[in-house]
Amino acid sequence: MTEFSAVDMACLRGQTLVFADLAFRLKAGEAMVLSGPNGSGKSSLLRVLAGLNAPFSGDVSWDGENVFEDRQAHADRLIYVGHLNAIKPPLTVRENLDFWAGMLGNRPAVADAMAAFDLTAIADAPGRVLSSGQGRRLNLARLCLDDRPLWLLDEPTVGLDVASCRRLEALIQGHRDKGGMVILSTHVGIDVPDPVTLDMARFSRTVDLLDGGVR
């Protein structure tokens, strides 16, 4: 069975050691919810798991293979939705998704992706006029553009109305039912059944390596 795991992981941002001794193991169909106070390292961890930042130490593995040995293979198995919306302001909703579909390689899925997040009625609106929640829905619609086993979602519910939250929960459940994995950070309740939980406060260090001090 597919497994995604980390051992002895530490993360450096600038000169600050953000967390250390972090470990987890996630199997196909499982979801992991990251909790912890502001600055405890949730976004930093998601960036490392997406292969965007290397860990300061430790291993991140997919089926026993270190993901940093073949970053492209890892990038091809995941969809990362960061906490900032990656939207091109002059492009319409449809054009933004066309762009992402080209990147992910599945152009025909754009109409389904818009329908999944109730974006069809605003398909021709340019990105620059979207409300924050509409922008969030557009960002999340990327999840429907390709069938990739690993979803990494940084505070996906921020700005979403109740109906959109329910849509996201259903999408996550459908993904898990097909054997997909999800790792998400959140400060608020999102209904993810039987989650693996990771409280970042347990691993948080915030040590300034140059000063040698602890904040």
> x/- string (CB under 6 A) for ligand ATP, residues 32-61?
----x-xxxxxxx-----------------
User: Nearest approach, Cβ of 175 to ligand ATP (angstroms)?
Assistant: 22
The Cα–Cα gap between 34 and 170 comes to: 19
One-letter amino acid for residue 62 of the chain: W
Q: Which is nearer to ligand ATP, 26 or 198 (CB)?
A: 198
Element (H, E) at 116: helix 110-116
The Cα–Cα gap between 79 and 73 comes to: 12
Residue 184: count of CB within 10 angstroms of its CB: 23
One-letter amino acid for residue 200 of the chain: M
- Cα 86 to its chain centre, rounded Å, is 13
Give the range of 9-17, 99-107, 124-132, 136-144 binding ligand ATP by CB under 6 A: 9-17
Binding residue (CB under 6 A) for ligand ATP from 4, 16, 140, 152: 16
> x/- string (CB under 6 A) for ligand ATP, residues 178-207?
----------------------x-----x-
Residues that bind ligand ATP (CB under 6 A): 13-14, 16, 18, 36, 38-44, 200, 206
